[in-house]
């Protein structure tokens, strides 16, 4: 199975900060990388596919990049509703595998 | 807008079968692939498996995570607009929040990209005697 490693596992940031989350694959996955946002007690929310294609309705402050093994999710200006846990997921080969998550907390 | 709702027993005894259902509302169940994912306490998300679009002419058998394949069955009931998960011979390691989700496909420059665009809120299942 392809291992997905996210860093950091948690971070503290303030509203308005620029936040970058990294996801690394154990082997090349082309650009088959998805991102999700998860808040406690809620359904996970799909943000992005193919590394950089945003789901309809996702605010433009979210952007993704990367190819091969290294990927990033960037929030250009953190908003109060963005405090959550973010997960990457590779769909390059089955079984799908997820990163361990990055919890974005309020500083 | 499509919504998914998981349901099933919150407590299952060791060695028994865990059975969950995901009700689909707001869209056809026949036009998509459907998947199950779980998250054990304090751990990351784990893909369980998915069932293919039963309305597709090239419908294939369900796909399961090899680590669970011998114990898992995913099925769909179009008349009830729901799909189901059965996990046999459970142990404490199967204690988790179980999520159902819709699996979509996007083709970009001849590359297939799969993702889960709609999720349920999850249901907690504890395996304990």
Q: Quick one: chain B helix, strand, coil %, rounded to 5?
A: 0, 55, 45
Helices and strands (DSSP H and E) totals, chain A: 0, 11
Question: What percent of chain B is predicted at pLDDT more than 90?
Answer: 79
Residue contact B113–A32, C-beta within 8 A: yes
Can you give the pLDDT at residue B51?
92
Can you give the pLDDT at residue B6?
98
Read off the pLDDT of residues A61-72 as tens digits, 9 standing for 90 and up.
999 999 999 999
Of B67, B99, B111, the CB nearest to A44: B99
CA distance B4 to B123: 11
Inform me whether the pLDDT recorded for A8 exceeds 90.
yes
Residue contact A99–B47, C-beta within 8 A: no
Which residues are CB-neighbours of B109 under 8 A, at least 6 positions away?
Answer: none
Can you give the pLDDT at residue B61?
85
- DSSP β-ladder status, A62-67 and A45-49: unpaired
Residue contact A45–B119, C-beta within 8 A: yes
Residues paired with B85 in a beta bridge: B20, B74
Question: Measured at the alpha carbon of residue B110, what is the angle toward residues B109 and B111, in degrees to the nearest 5?
Answer: 95
Read off the pLDDT of residues B19-62 as tens digits, 9 standing for 90 and up.
999 999 999 888 899 999 999 999 989 999 999 877 666 678 89
Residues of A in contact with B67 (CB under 8 A): 95
A95 touches chain B (CB under 8 A): yes
CA distance B61 to B52: 7
Can you give the pLDDT at residue A33?
98
Residue identified by tokens 């997921």 is A89
Can you give the pLDDT at residue A107?
87
A41 touches chain B (CB under 8 A): yes
Of B57 and A92, the one with more pLDDT: A92
Q: How far is A41 from chain B (nearest CA, A)?
A: 7
CA distance B48 to A64: 26
B77 touches chain A (CB under 8 A): no
Can you give the pLDDT at residue A29?
97
Can you give the pLDDT at residue A65?
98
Of B4, B44, B108, the CB nearest to A101: B44
Read off the pLDDT of residues A30-43 as tens digits, 9 standing for 90 and up.
999 999 999 998 99
Question: What percent of chain A is predicted at pLDDT more than 70?
Answer: 100
CA distance A61 to A71: 17
Residue of A nearest to B67 (CA): A95
User: Dihedral through CA A39, CA A51, CA B46, CA A58, nearest 10?
Assistant: 20
Inform me whether the pLDDT recorded for A21 exceeds 70.
yes
Can you give the pLDDT at residue B58?
63
Can you give the pLDDT at residue B57?
64
- Average pLDDT over every residue of B71-90: 95
Can you give the pLDDT at residue B53?
77
Of A45, A94, A99, the CB nearest to B63: A94
The A residues from 8 to 37 touching B (CB cutoff 8 Å) are 30-32, 34, 36
Q: How far is B59 from chain A (nearest CA, A)?
A: 18
């Amino acid at each position: 199975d392809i291992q997905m490693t996210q860093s950091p596992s948690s971070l503290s940031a303030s509203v308005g900060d620029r936040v970058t989350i990294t996801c690394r694959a154990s082997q090349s996955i082309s650009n088959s990388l998805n991102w999700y946002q998860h808040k406690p007690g809620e359904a996970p929310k799909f943000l992005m596919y193919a590394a950089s294609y945003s789901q309809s309705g996702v605010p433009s402050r979210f952007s993704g990049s990367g190819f091969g093994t290294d990927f990033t999710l960037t929030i250009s200006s953190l908003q109060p509703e963005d405090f959550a846990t973010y997960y990457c997921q590779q769909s390059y080969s089955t079984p799908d595998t997820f990163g361990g998550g990055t919890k974005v907390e309020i500083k | 807008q499509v919504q998914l709702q998981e349901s099933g027993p919150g407590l299952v005894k060791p060695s028994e079968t865990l059975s969950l259902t995901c009700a689909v509302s707001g869209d056809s169940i026949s036009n998509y692939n459907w998947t199950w994912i779980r998250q054990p306490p304090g751990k990351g998300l784990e893909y369980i498996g998915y069932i293919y679009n039963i309305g597709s002419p090239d419908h294939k058998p369900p796909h399961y995570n090899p680590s669970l394949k011998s114990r898992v069955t995913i099925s769909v009931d179009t008349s009830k607009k729901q799909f189901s998960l059965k996990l046999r011979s459970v142990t404490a390691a199967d204690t988790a929040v179980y999520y159902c989700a819709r699996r979509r496909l996007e083709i970009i420059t001849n590359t297939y990209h799969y993702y889960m665009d709609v999720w349920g809120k999850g249901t907690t299942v504890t395996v304990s005697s």
